[in-house]
Amino acid sequence: MHHSALLNVMIAAARKAARSLKRDFGEVENLQVSLKGPANFVSAADRRAEETLYAELSKARPGYGFLGEEGGIREGDDKTHRWIVDPLDGTTNFLHGIPQFAISIGLEREGAIVAGLVYNPITEELFIAEKGKGAFLNDRRIRVAGRKNLSEAVLACGLAHLGHGDHPTVKRETGAMLGQVAGLRRFGAAALDLAFVAAGRFDGYWERSLSPWDLAAGIILVREAGGFVSDCDGGEAMLDKGEVAAGNETIRKEIVRVLKSA
Ligand code: IPD
Ligand code: CA
Ligand code: CA
């Protein structure tokens, strides 16, 4: 398949960072049995991956700004473009040898997300989208699922855990959703949750207490797959509020309705 120059840059950077993540993931499986566990090793792995992404992306597009989970904000001369990057989304999975994690790269132009990539180095599933050009999984066009009723829908969500998230809200909202859906999943990598919505695997997804790098790439994947994305109140402040509700327009609205009622 022919990709734009921009997507080629993003894909090349992701594949390079993926090689080191894949090696490190193999090592985690060995460290798993040690007493100290692989925690320190993993935080080095995602810093390494972010440096690779930064080096590759800024070589190809000098001047673009860069917001990464590990390194924070790096200003560029070009104030209209900014990469938003999570070098390893799904760290807890990675740390436990669970192959559900991804590199996530979004590109913002004048405040709007115009391209996104989510890549799982283990399954080698590559999700890409560019504004106005559709969303693709390994070069096959993807679409969000068409189901209109929550009663038939399988949704993904996030859960709070020790030291993270608003526990009472999560309990209320997941409690309210449980009785209304065909299935609720917690896979543990927000970027992949959104990519799976884009691919029609999940009918919808919502989560709070997220960061821009969890969301940027996935938002354009869902939109370019014909889906809709909002914050949990139905507004547009996903990145500012760090929350998301996604699906086809009917399911997204249903999610927001249930969250409001919770
Ligand atoms: C996390 C994952 C997870 C979500 C957390 C995120 P990380 O990102 O996306 O699914 O529930 O809130 O922080 O820390 O693995 O990059
Ligand atoms: Ca993340
Ligand atoms: Ca991360």
208-262 pLDDT tens trace: 999 999 999 999 999 999 999 999 999 999 999 999 999 999 999 999 999 999 9
Which residues neighbour ligand 2 (ion) by CB within 5 Å?
Answer: 86, 89, 214
Nearest to 218 by CA among 110, 139, 123, 142: 142
pLDDT at 33: 65
* Cα of 178 from ligand 1 centre, angstroms: 22
Pick the CATH number of 5-141 from 3.40.190.10, 3.30.540.10, 3.10.20.600, 3.40.1280.10: 3.30.540.10
pLDDT at 28: 84
* Atom 5, ligand 1: residue with shortest CA distance: 210
pTM of the model: 0.97
* Cα of 88 from ligand 2 centre, angstroms: 7
* Cα of 190 from ligand 3 centre, angstroms: 10
pLDDT at 35: 64
In the DSSP assignment, the letter for residue 73 is: E
Residue count of the chain: 262
pLDDT at 145: 98
pLDDT at 37: 67
Nearest to 85 by CA among 59, 110, 104, 102: 104
pLDDT at 40: 77
Sorted by where each begins, the domain ranges of the chain are: 5-141, 150-261
E-strand spans in 58-189?
Answer: 64-68, 72-74, 78-89, 102-109, 112-120, 125-130, 135-137, 140-141, 154-157, 183-185
pLDDT at 228: 98
Which ranges of the chain have pLDDT less than 70?
Answer: 32-37
Are 194 and 215 spatial neighbours (Cβ–Cβ below 8 Å)? yes
Bridge partner list, 82 = 65, 108
A 10 A CB-CB count for 174 gives: 18
150-261: CATH topology is D-Maltodextrin-Binding Protein; domain 2 (3.40.190)
* Cα of 207 from ligand 1 centre, angstroms: 10
Q: DSSP string spanning 207-225?
A: E-S--HHHHHHHHHHHHHT
- The residue type of 69 is E
Tell me, using a 6 A CB cutoff, whether residue 210 lines ligand 1: yes
Residue 144, CB-side half-sphere exposure with 13 Å CA sphere: 32
Q: Enumerate the H helices of 61-208 as residue ranges.
A: 91-95, 167-178, 190-198
pLDDT at 129: 98
Dihedral sign from CA coordinates of 41, 43, 45, 51: negative
